[in-house]
Amino acid sequence: MSNHGISPEPIMKIASGFMSAKHLFAASQLGLFEALADSPATLEALAARTGLTPRSARISADAMVALGLLERHGDTYRNSETAATFLAGRTPADLRPFLRFWDRLSYPAWTDFASALAKGPSKEIFDLDSELQEVASAGIEAILTGPANALAGGYDFEQHRRLLDIGGGTGSWAIVAARRYPGLEATVFELPNVAEVARRRIAEAGLSHRIDVKAGDVTKEAPPAGHDVLLMANLVHYWSPLQNLKLLKSTRTSAERGARLLLADFWTNATHTEPVMAALMAGEFAAHLKDGDVYSLDEIKQWLPEAGWRFVEHRPLAGPVSLVIAEAE
């Protein structure tokens, strides 16, 4: 069989992806983008600003030019618009904590990915020490800033009085919603170690009087009652189908008839191949979680009525994250 005209380029591009990722993680960690936040720099100036040798600064900076995150004009380097917005630490859309999370936690977990698929992860993300939990919480919050803002901007919380954010992480989703809707009160329900982070973030946002934090384990106890809208953001992908059905049933016992349920996650098509990022994220969840996976819109539509919820609609949020809206029957 002839291979004339067939190139291995797609394979090589995918296989070298780890190099691009580690170059990016290193450049962020070493402060390359922050060093260019105020003004462009020659290689010598960039090395001085970062404390790197000229050789190391050149290797990192030229790789970022090749990847489109830095621009080079003659001997001068500057941030691209993308890097200036997301990586220089000068805007609210700061993705540096996300890169730190993927470098410190995700990348090591992926180094033995075949074993994770064959035997399960050697360590679950629930088992982090306090330092790595802070890294994980900050990283997850950073990457979900877009979807959280899209939810607050695209869903009408004016019709609700009290929001329950189940597995609410650092409280970022509740904070964004509360800021946009002054009449909305909220409760964040999270595991004790994450709840402490949420209390601090909510206090820093000046919203402790409107957002409460309750510590608990949603897999072992029913969520707090008394809320007319319940949010589960990026929680379904932690569990197996049977665990998710149990979770939806438990959540239903805490909701009055007519209450809304908002499910923000990496919902896919029926074959779990689109969005592409969602298909790849299935590996991220498998590397960190014994039962982690992505699920299709068809699957959640099957679970909801069995758990006492009526499917209302599905709408996009941001990137590969979309929203399923249901109502308590």
Extents of the domains making up the chain: 9-94, 108-328
Residues 6+ apart with CB under 8 A from 255: 225, 227, 230, 261, 328
What angle in degrees, to the nearest 10, is found between the helix axes of 43-50 and 54-66? 110
The CATH class, in words, for 108-328 is alpha beta
Higher pLDDT among residues 5 and 247, named by residue: 247
> What is the structure's pLDDT at 4?
72
Residues 6+ apart with CB under 8 A from 210: 178, 184, 185, 186
Whether the predicted pLDDT of 15 surpasses 80: yes
Decide if 9-94 and 108-328 have a common fold. Answer: no
**Residue for token digits 């820093």?**
204
Q: Furthest-apart CA pair in the chain: how many Å?
A: 71
Average pLDDT over residues 295-299: 98
Higher pLDDT among residues 128 and 172, named by residue: 172
Contact 171, 202 (CB under 8 A): yes
Whether the predicted pLDDT of 2 surpasses 80: no
Look up residue 172 and give its two tokens.
Answer: 């970022």
> What is the structure's pLDDT at 129?
86
Is 9-94 assigned to CATH 1.10.10.10?
yes
Q: pLDDT tens-digit profile of 134-191?
A: 899 899 999 999 999 999 999 999 999 999 999 999 999 999 999 999 999 999 999 9
> What is the structure's pLDDT at 3?
67
Position 321 confidence tier, pLDDT thresholds 50, 70, 90: very high
DSSP symbol at 259: E
Cross-strand bridge partners of residue 234 = none
- From the CB of residue 191, how many other CB atoms can be counted at a distance below 10 Å? 16
Whether the predicted pLDDT of 130 surpasses 60: yes
Residue 14: burial class (beta carbons within 10 Å; 0-12, 13-18, 19+)? exposed
